């Protein structure tokens, strides 16, 4: 059993309680305009070109047999349509400007890497978080990974958009202690606008997850200026989450940390919204707290 992983982040403190290790899988059915990890969207390994690290030596073009890399005024240009993903350019690049995001890893290797800090999980009340991308996109690998962690008595968290079949979701919940459920928008039309995907399945899975015995749910809301931060949006969200009986709501402030990653993938940045004032997050926090819910402001 292998999965496609693009990062294993140790000493993570934002993805659940205590000190954690977060495993990021590749592949996601959503295309959120504000996505800070665009390298997580496609399910296969892909090349990222960090232009600022490039020494303009031309080595990448020299080793590229398909001719996908050409030089213009000494600067390499990658034709991703011609690229065969042989990774010769990545191996040859002396400066590390050519990088690969994502690699196939066996289940045993991911479990072993994730459990290196097991003593810290025990002492801090932490554990392992499975994220993405979207873990439901690699359902069997995700299920077996969570099961392996539970077999070692490690606390497990599942970070998900909820976009997948209930059969898949239910299979993962069997080995999950905490669900970090991302909620973008309650409006179907606005959800499509922001993610290119509807939210009927997501909201249905959220309701079923909340009804599942023994599974704690934290709802995480990315707050995007001009998308879901209007007073009417906040009021509707507060009413909805107040009825959902979630253990906590986390507000995630909009940022542009993903912009350089889009450039490295040869894509334009799709979400230029400007900074979100902290005072706005504090105001939203108070509105939702008034419904008797614990609310935190995170990144």
DSSP for 106-172 reads: EHHHHHHHHTTTHHHHHHHT-EEEEESS-GGGSHHHHHHHHHHHHHTT-EEEEEE---S-HHHHHHH
Q: Give Dmax (Cα) for the chain.
A: 63
Q: What is the pLDDT of residue 214?
A: 82
| Nearest-angstrom CA–CA distance, 164 and 197 | 12
Specify the CATH superfamily of domain 2-43+103-298.
Aldolase class I (3.20.20.70)
Domain with CATH 3.20.20.70 in the chain: 2-43+103-298
pLDDT at position 105:
97
Sign (positive/negative) of CA torsion 171, 115, 220, 296?
Answer: positive
For residues 29 and 266, the answer to whether their CB atoms sit within 8 Å is no
User: What pLDDT, on the 0 to 100 scale, is given for residue 245?
Assistant: 83
66 φ/ψ angles, rounded to the nearest 5 degrees: -70, -10
Q: What's the pLDDT at 74? A: 83
Numbered ranges of CATH 3.30.70.20 in the chain:
46-101
- Which of 3.30.465.10, 3.10.580.10, 3.50.7.10, 3.30.70.20 would CATH assign to domain 46-101? 3.30.70.20
Tens digit of each residue's pLDDT, the chain (299 residues): 899 999 999 999 889 999 999 999 999 999 999 999 999 999 999 999 999 999 999 999 999 999 999 999 889 999 999 999 999 999 999 999 999 999 999 999 999 999 999 998 988 999 999 999 999 999 999 999 999 999 999 999 999 999 999 999 999 999 999 999 999 999 999 999 999 999 999 999 999 999 988 899 999 999 999 999 999 999 999 999 989 889 999 999 999 989 999 999 999 999 988 878 889 999 999 999 999 999 999 87
The SS3 call for residue 285 is helix
Q: Are strands 155-160 and 178-182 parallel, antiparallel or unpaired?
A: parallel
């Amino acid at each position: 059993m292998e999965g496609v992983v693009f990062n294993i982040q140790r000493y993570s403190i934002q993805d659940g309680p205590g000190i954690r290790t977060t495993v990021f899988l590749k592949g996601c059915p959503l295309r959120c305009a504000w996505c800070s990890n665009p390298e997580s969207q496609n399910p296969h390994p892909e090349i990222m070109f960090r232009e600022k690290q490039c020494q303009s030596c031309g080595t990448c073009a020299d080793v590229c047999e398909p001719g996908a890399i050409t030089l213009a005024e000494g600067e390499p240009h990658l034709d991703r349509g011609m690229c065969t993903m042989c990774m010769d350019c990545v191996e040859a690049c002396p400066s590390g400007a050519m990088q690969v995001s994502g690699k196939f890893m066996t289940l045993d290797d991911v479990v072993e890497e994730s459990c290196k800090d097991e003593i810290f999980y025990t002492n801090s009340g932490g554990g392992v978080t499975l994220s993405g991308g979207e873990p439901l996109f690699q359902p069997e690998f995700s299920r077996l990974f969570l099961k392996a962690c539970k077999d070692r008595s490690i606390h497990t968290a599942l970070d998900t958009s909820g976009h997948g079949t209930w059969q898949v979701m239910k299979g993962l919940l069997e080995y999950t202690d905490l669900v970090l459920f991302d909620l973008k928008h309650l409006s179907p039309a606005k959800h499509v606008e922001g993610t290119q995907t509807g939210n009927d399945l997501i909201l249905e899975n959220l309701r079923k997850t909340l009804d599942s015995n023994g599974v704690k749910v934290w709802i995480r809301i990315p707050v995007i200026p001009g998308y879901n931060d209007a007073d009417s949006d906040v009021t509707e969200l507060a009413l909805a989450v107040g009825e959902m009986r979630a253990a906590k709501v986390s507000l995630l402030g909009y940022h542009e940390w993903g912009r350089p990653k889009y450039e490295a993938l040869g894509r334009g940045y799709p979400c230029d919204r400007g900074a979100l004032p902290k005072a706005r997050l504090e105001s939203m926090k108070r509105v939702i707290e008034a419904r008797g819910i614990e609310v935190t402001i995170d990144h």
